[in-house]
Structure 1
Amino acid sequence: MEYVIEMCHITKEFPGIIANDDITLQLKKGEIHALLGENGAGKSTLMSVLFGLYQAEKGVIKMNGQEVTIKDPNDANKLGIGMVHQHFKLVHNFTVLENIILGAEDTKKGLLTLDAARKKVNDLSQKYHLNVDCDEIISEITVGMQQRVEILKMLYRDNEILIFDEPTAVLTPQEIKELMNIMKNLSAEGKSILFITHKLNEIKEVADRCTVLRKGKYIGTIEVGETSKEEMSEMMVGRKVNFNVNKEMAKPTDVVLSVQHLCVGKKDHKDVVNDVNFEVRKGEIVCIAGIDGNGQSELVYALSGLMPVKEGTILLDNQDITHTSIFTRNVAGLGHIPEDRHRYGLVLDYPLSYNMALKSYFKKEFNNHGFLDYKKMTEYSDHLIQKFDVRSGQGSKTIARSMSGGNQQKAIIAREVDNDPKLLIAVQPTRGLDVGAIEFIHSELVAERDKGRAILLISLELDEVMNLADRILVIYEGEIVAELNPEKTTIQELGLYMAGSKKEGVK
């Protein structure tokens, strides 16, 4: 059989680590081929070799049986290969339209001509239900909308081989369903898709075949229809995985977070968060559930100090933190696993040792007469790396930018949990994590709850909401419209509240 793409015996090395160790991947025309593996298994690296971002030390790439050379993404685009990256490649002060056409602009007498591009983008947006506004600035739109822009960049270039690197990590359940339909339609049109994901349900729904990698090595390629989720997860992590969250009934005690009549928004604009009231107690996980873009991001920004409060009060352990600095909130006991790990979670060009100590470097154990004690910072970082299974090529010396997305996430979670917060705000804590890591993080959050920690979880994953939450607060258009008991609520009912089809009075 002739394959549209063959990656034969690819080996890619970085200092201290072999990211891809003699991997062969074959893609048929018109198929959706999933690439499955743990965080750091080498999936994104392999796709970056195909897209020309990296050059392999060994191996060849063939297209329709002919060997090709891909030195950079321009070569890949000329061959009809497009990629939606896990970490977006967007210019934040450009508009949506400018980002989509960047590198493929039409000009007339040296000036940009945008009318034809605007029409094409709007047509694609409408056809695939992506609903983007061409004139929005990237820095002003949600992470979910930025993901849609990345997808449109690829569709705009009429690519025939489409690489999706964790495309659903930041999408809502409704958006994921739409994306799955888009992928099926693209496949039916004859486009060939390589689909990196950690979500076994998505693989079962759309993929024809699946190639599994583990620690940089090729484990096998399977027919998705003939293989169970349990078998796939065992191939991926090398052991059986428990998909259910084991937890006892919560025993909440004192109020740790009290939010009273909170309003957040720009002056003279409609409030994005409108008159929100709720409490989180020691020993419980309270989940804010809602479709992306309904004010949950702004609510978290206000609680963590990233955005000013227009009206209302925030009390943390009876201390008014409404208008205090981020530093003051951290010292008062607020931990934050942010939605955007690159912008708010890590200093990407710092090593892991610095990132692990970002919230504690000023404490006595890391200071020696006013100077940072790098040895103790490294020892602390080494401890967290081992405890939370953060996989990195050079341990504490590893630059954060060079790590896989999932391992960056685990590093943030390690730092925030170990900092002993009174309140832990966890925003999509398992975004981009594999099933083994998700199992670990879920059990860690439950363990923190059982130690008496107050946890505020914001998640777009309905299964995660139902499995982890002791109480569910549904946010719709910036207001809390329902408080639900997960034991007495179905996913369908939760979905109705999230969509605004159902509403109840919440005091």
Structure 2
Amino acid sequence: MNKQKNIIEMKHIVKDFDGFKANDDLNLTLHQGEILALLGENGAGKSTLMSILSGLLAPTSGEIKVNGRQIAIVNPTVAKQLGIGMVHQHFMLAHSFTVLENIILGHETTKGPLLDLKQAREKVLALSEHYHLAIDPNQKVANITVAQQQRVEILKVLYRGADILIFDEPTAVLTPPEIKEFMHILKNLANEGKSIILITHKLEEIKKVADRVTIIRAGKDVGSYAVKDISNEKMAELMVGHPVTMKLAKAAVEPGKAILAVKDLVVKENRGTLAVKHLSFNVHAGEILGIAGIDGNGQDELVEAITGLRHSSSGEILIKDQDLANQAPRKITEAGVANIPADRQKYGLILQMSVADNLILQSYYQTPFSHHGIINFHQIKQHAQKLVKKFDILTPSIDLAGGELSGGNQQKVIIARELQRNSDLIIAFQPTRGLDVGAIETIHKQLLKEREQGKAILLVSYELSEIMALSDRILVLHNGEKSGVVKPEETTETELGLLMTGVKKEGKVVD
């Protein structure tokens, strides 16, 4: 196979949003049968460039060639006809529809005037099995996990028979075994002749699976490199414009009293079966307790119960010795709990509201933002400007709607809001999902700083490297139960993986 045949050529692409150039003279070439990684900071213009390629946005200027032919991709229908399919970072699914209905939507199989759901289901299940993307076609999307929604999006593109596949942060919500399997899927697709663009912030994934990497910074392309010829450190430096520290310095901290005490907690999932089964643990002041586990083993239900978003069947949730099980989210928030949720768009932001307003969602009714019910817009503006600068939120204006930000900058807004509130307990669920290495470094340092200041932090992450780097203790969940509690310096990712599958290692469990 001639891997040098140009399938996609994007030349001098400019996308101007009222004076803000998200893409500024960008160039990108995709070869036949290759995996091209697209690397850049949050807000660098990666998703905008790919939205242009997939027909969701029109470029201000520039040209696009597909298979050597210059063409205007004026809408997603044209992109589909050209064999271009995109799996977006923020899923484009109808939550009230089933998995099957979402996958076949717009490409329905009919038998006469009727939908042939039987044939469609068989095709979807065959794809699901072939690509190891396990799903239940009859489940409503509203009732499945974020990782399962990711699989639905991937199957949607494969169902349409795309030959040019664009993946925007596809592994952000996958577990290590799922990521490994997904890498295998990508290689198989490339070997079958499909051409793939992989938007990712994970340098190790680029090294494992990509042939070339195109790096962009502040809307401009820095260059394209053969992955085998460039180091992780060099990629990170080109991406952010300065050298990046790849290792964390973690100060010794003596844990204090228990800020969060979960006792014999039982929580059901949406279908009524037990998701959290008689779970007990503590998180102390000055400690980061990491929760490790394969997605779907009770993490979502546990965090929702602690933050008041889900009713618990029994047990206690003590926050600073006060039982707040089944209390309203505001009461829990006011008790000194910060919450960085797993799904930033569903639970973290109001997408139609401005950046400034999203930054005060938890405190808009309190001073200095409100007095006797009168909103102080000057204080809100000053607060937003301070946080945008402190947390490096890339936005042309604090008045921009939250939904207009890049995914990584949406995450920064949530983290800025929650950490600024000076809460005693910080719940961080996938806090660096979709962030670039520079932003990850910043967030990790901020979490460690909060720990040094005596805050208790419950960290839930599917990134084992993040769990290992930040945690003082690691609680492993399997099937809603405690599989073990270990110290990161006394275990390995392999042993954690075994605990995550329910295989308990003798001598590795600590209090």
- Relative to the length of structure 2, the TM-score reads 0.97
Is structure 2 residue 320 aligned with structure 1 residue 321?
Answer: no
Answer yes or no: is the 8 Å Cα contact 2:213–2:227 preserved in 1. Answer: yes
Answer yes or no: is the 8 Å Cα contact 1:481–1:506 preserved in 2. Answer: no
User: What is residue 151 of structure 2 aligned with on the other side?
Assistant: 148
Alignment of 1:278-297 (within 5 A): 278-297=281-300
Query: What residue identity is the alignment partner of 1:426?
Result: A
Query: What residue identity is the alignment partner of 2:200?
Result: T
1:250 and 1:428 map into 2 onto residues whose CA distance is 23
Alignment of 1:85-484 (within 5 A): 85-265=88-268, 269-394=272-397, 396-484=398-486
CA deviations over 1:268-291 (Å, ceiling 9, x no partner): 943110000000010000001001
1:32 and 1:113 map into 2 onto residues whose CA distance is 35
SS at match of 1:103: coil
Alignment of 1:18-97 (within 5 A): 18-97=21-100
Query: What residue identity is the alignment partner of 2:232?
Result: K
Q: How many residues align?
A: 506
1:114 and 1:306 map into 2 onto residues whose CA distance is 35
Shift of 1:456: 0.2
CA deviations over 1:108-139 (Å, ceiling 9, x no partner): 34322111111111001001111111001101
Call closer, same or farther: CA 1:16–1:480 in 2, change over 3 Å: farther
Q: Name segments (4+ residues, structure 1) moved above 6 Å.
A: 504-507
Shift of 1:503: 5.5
Query: What residue identity is the alignment partner of 1:449?
Result: R
SS at match of 1:475: strand
Answer yes or no: is the 8 Å Cα contact 2:495–2:505 preserved in 1. Answer: no
User: What is residue 15 of structure 1 aligned with on the other side?
Assistant: 18
Query: What residue identity is the alignment partner of 1:112?
Result: L
Is structure 2 residue 490 aligned with structure 1 residue 485?
Answer: no
CA deviations over 1:449-492 (Å, ceiling 9, x no partner): 00010000001001101100000000000001101011111111
Gapped runs of 5+ residues in structure 1?
A: none
Gapped runs of 5+ residues in structure 2?
A: none
Call closer, same or farther: CA 1:250–1:280 in 2, change over 3 Å: same
Identity among equivalent pairs (%) = 52
Query: What residue identity is the alignment partner of 2:183?
Result: M
Instruction: Say what the alpha-carbon RMSD is for the aligned residues.
Output: 1.2
1:23 and 1:268 map into 2 onto residues whose CA distance is 48
Answer yes or no: is the 8 Å Cα contact 2:486–2:510 preserved in 1. Answer: no
Answer yes or no: is the 8 Å Cα contact 2:305–2:326 preserved in 1. Answer: no
Shift of 1:266: 5.3
Call closer, same or farther: CA 1:118–1:223 in 2, change over 3 Å: same
Query: What residue identity is the alignment partner of 2:109?
Result: D
Shift of 1:374: 1.3
Moved more, 79-88 or 495-504: 495-504
Answer yes or no: is the 8 Å Cα contact 2:310–2:326 preserved in 1. Answer: no
Query: What residue identity is the alignment partner of 1:213?
Result: I
Query: What residue identity is the alignment partner of 1:143?
Result: V
1:252 and 1:38 map into 2 onto residues whose CA distance is 35
SS at match of 1:30: coil
Call closer, same or farther: CA 1:267–1:29 in 2, change over 3 Å: closer
2:468 and 2:333 map into 1 onto residues whose CA distance is 29
Query: What residue identity is the alignment partner of 2:486?
Result: L
SS at match of 1:4: strand
Shift of 1:393: 1.7
Query: What residue identity is the alignment partner of 2:246?
Result: F
- Relative to the length of structure 1, the TM-score reads 0.98
